Structure 1
Amino acid sequence: MSEYLTYLSFGNGGWAKPILSGALLTIELAVATLPFGLAAGLLLASGMLSQKAWLRRFCVAYGTVFRALPELLTIFIIYYGSQMAIKAACDFLGWQTPQINGFMAGLIALGVVFAAFSCEIFYTALRTIPQGQYEASYALGLSPKTRYFRVTLPQVWRIALPGLGNVWLVLLKDTSLVSVIALSDLMRQTYVAVNSTKEPFFFYALACAVYLIFSSISGLILSWLERRANRYYARG
């Protein structure tokens, strides 16, 4: 038992500091990905309702492709594909090729996947809003910007929130995949600790506990957001 307590210490032979830094990087990556994925998903959902056929086809194809691809494959495509594209551009311009930032590559890859799933949720939410809401806001003389931010978006948020909460929890777990591009997240640090100590059950159980804590806190926050979003909504 004392040996396990040593593993959890911050001193020599302890793995508390690397595990903690990996956990912080995991939550940082997930939180940084969230606004990018939400904004892209909402734009894609709006595009799916566009009167322009080419835009509708593009948005539908985007969602279909990136929902079908494994998240790990998407990370590889973004990480190595961006390396090749940047190297080709730098070679063409005669510049020195910069080092690819693994955090940004992971953020973009996870954001691309999050947007693909969230766009379907936003699309359904947009179609759920009664046509009378748009007609009433138009009759009141509201500008398109005001109609969108004061009438459409609050209702979309309330309807889409439960589905977005599920996608967020999936995103939180998918952050573990960025360890394959040598990003020192929670799973990467856990893997290093296991190789060093030969204690796989202990450290993987510890990582499991950390993910459960993240998910539990997320569940509490999502519950609060749902109550707040529905505070003026009277159920029939």
Structure 2
Amino acid sequence: MFETLLQNLGLSAFSLKGFGPLLLQGTWMTVKLSVMSLLLAIVLGLLGASAKLSKAAILRIPAQVYTTLIRGVPDLVLMLLIFYSLQTWLTSFTEAMEWDYIEIDPFAAGVITLGFIYGAYFTETFRGAILAVPRGQVEAATAYGLSRAQRFRFVVFPQMMRFALPGIGNNWQVVLKATALVSIIGLADLVKASQDAGKSTYQLFYFLVLAALIYLVITSVSNFALRWAERRYAAGSREAQR
């Protein structure tokens, strides 16, 4: 499959020295990790934004601490801290319960770590988007008898997404590039695959450039999808302005 794709692109399989399947697996791992981390970050972002906008201090203060702490510490440091903390806590728990040792799967650890880190960035993205929704529309929905869940689903969320999509697109690209950091915790992503191929062939620069091009292709395709989503959510606004 990978060699057929290379031939369609006018590239020879020999240029990859037989490491095409490895790079394909690494690319697929990177895409899976990015998407799963994005979904977790979105969920945490929605919860965090709701907490920061809450009138209850018991919700607002922890959310404020979460976003301040995460955005103030380098991602690499956080990744190492969270990954090894998760393993330490799990080991302590299994020892206390007298269970067998359980090792955290690198993929699950990568998803949890990236999702937790970028959930703080999505929190601010969604908080700003929610605040941008006209308050009068929420009050009108309340006057019509809509419940809180219905107000969020039918009034707040569609308009919030229109304001949030540019930030979501930016955060997605950052998450995608941040997956390169997971190679330090043993996950066989695109960066790890390109490093292994480069060291085996003594052409590390060549394979790293190839990895960069693959990242560029993924981000370019993502940009088209995000632009479509922006046009879709902005359609109602354009109709209202006519």
Q: Name the TM-score, length of structure 1 as normaliser.
A: 0.94
Amino acid corresponding to residue 102 of structure 1 in structure 2: P
Q: Deviations over 1:130-181 (max 9, x none)?
A: 1111111011111222111001111111110101100000000000000001
Which amino acid counterpart does residue 61 of structure 1 have in structure 2?
A: V
Q: Quick one: which amino acid aligns to residue 220 of structure 1? A: F
Q: Partners in 2 of 1:155 and 1:81 — Cα distance?
A: 38
Could you tell me which amino acid in structure 2 is paired with residue 223 of structure 1?
R
Which structure 1 segments of 5+ residues have no match?
A: none
Cα separation, 2, equivalents of 1:67 and 1:118 = 11
Q: 1:6 aligns with which of 11, 14, 26?
A: 14
Match of residue 65 from structure 1:
69
Percent identity between the aligned chains? Answer: 38
Segment drifting more, 19-28 vs 137-146: 137-146
1:59-85: per-residue Cα shift (whole Å, max 9, x none)? 111001111111111211121111111
Q: Where does residue 127 of structure 2 map in the other structure? A: 123
Structure 2 length-normalised TM: 0.91
1:203 pairs with 2:207: yes
The counterpart of 1:40, out of the listed 40, 44, 57, is 44
| Match 1:220 to one of 195, 200, 224 | 224
Deviation at 1:47, TM superposition (A): 0.5
Q: Distance in 1 between matches of 2:103 and 2:62?
A: 32
The two structures, once aligned, show a CA RMSD in angstroms of 1.3
Deviation at 1:201, TM superposition (A): 2.1
- Asked whether the 8 Å contact 1:179–1:188 carries over to 2, the reply is yes
Question: Matches of residues 130-141 of structure 1 in structure 2 within 5 Å?
Answer: 130-141=134-145
Partner of 1:91: 95
Deviation at 1:14, TM superposition (A): 0.4
Moved more, 51-60 or 102-111: 51-60
Work out whether 1:101 is the aligned partner of 2:105: yes
